[in-house]
Structure 1
């Protein structure tokens, strides 16, 4: 498995991987009208992919130099440290503090972050709806010193 910077030619494969994740986990909760655009949110400064046997099996991005975003791993590649390696690539490239948000219901992701040394720094409701149709509860995590406050 290789972790490398995402290039424009990876977007179609990233969308295919995201579709597998969405089918398994409803991440993102609502399938975007433009999934390639969803993978390139405003403020995205860089992104990485995990590639195995020529197939994208994971993805992560950084927005605004501190916000980890769009982290996912296809179901078939889970349990092998892919998400941890993607986060390590981010930490190696961004020497300062990092933050991320995770849905309160995503227990596997929360366990990964806490095992990896991320600290919960706040929780709050956000503008998008969870699977139950309620404003989603998210937890905010920090790596390094705390940058922000609650979500």
Structure 2
């Protein structure tokens, strides 16, 4: 397994992995009209993938405002610590403390972030609907103190 920067040639495989994650976990909640653009949010600084035997197992992105985004790991690759490894890559590339948002329905993500020392600093309602058809509750997190201060 290798973690490396995502290239334009990787985008189709990333979309395929995202489709599997969406079918299994409902992430993203609604399938985007343009999944390639969704995986490339505005202000993208970098994106990294975990890959094995030419299959994308995981993905993460970092935006210019130091927000971790589009983090996912395929169900077949879970339990191997890939999400933590992807977060470590982002922290190494970051110029300051990181932040992220996760839906309250994303219980595995909430557990991962809190177990890894991320601190919940607030919550807001999203513009999109959760499984119950209500505006989703988003938890806002910041990275553990002393992390995310390295430049590549």
Which category of TM-score, normalised to the shorter sequence, fits these structures? over 0.9
- CA distance in 2 between counterparts of 1:10 and 1:65 reads 24
1:34 matched to 2:29: no
**Aligned residue pairs, count:** 145
Q: Deviations over 1:83-103 (max 9, x none)?
A: 000000000111410000000
Alignment of 1:88 with 2:88, yes or no, is yes
Extract unaligned runs of 5+ from structure 2: 146-152
Which residue pairs with 1:57 in the alignment? 57
1:111 pairs with 2:111: yes
Deviations 1:107-147, CA, capped at 9 Å, x for gaps: 111111011111111111111111222111010010145xx
Who is 2:126 aligned against?
Answer: 126
Which position in structure 2 is the counterpart of 1:47?
A: 47
Partner of residue 7, structure 1: 7
Q: Does 1:68 align with 2:68?
A: yes
**TM-score normalised by structure 1 residue count:** 0.93
> Root-mean-square deviation (CA), in Å?
1.0
- Whole-Å Cα distance in 1 between the matches of residues 29 and 84 of structure 2? 22
Matched, 1:78 2:75: no
Decide whether the 8 Å contact of 1:57 with 1:77 is kept in 2: yes
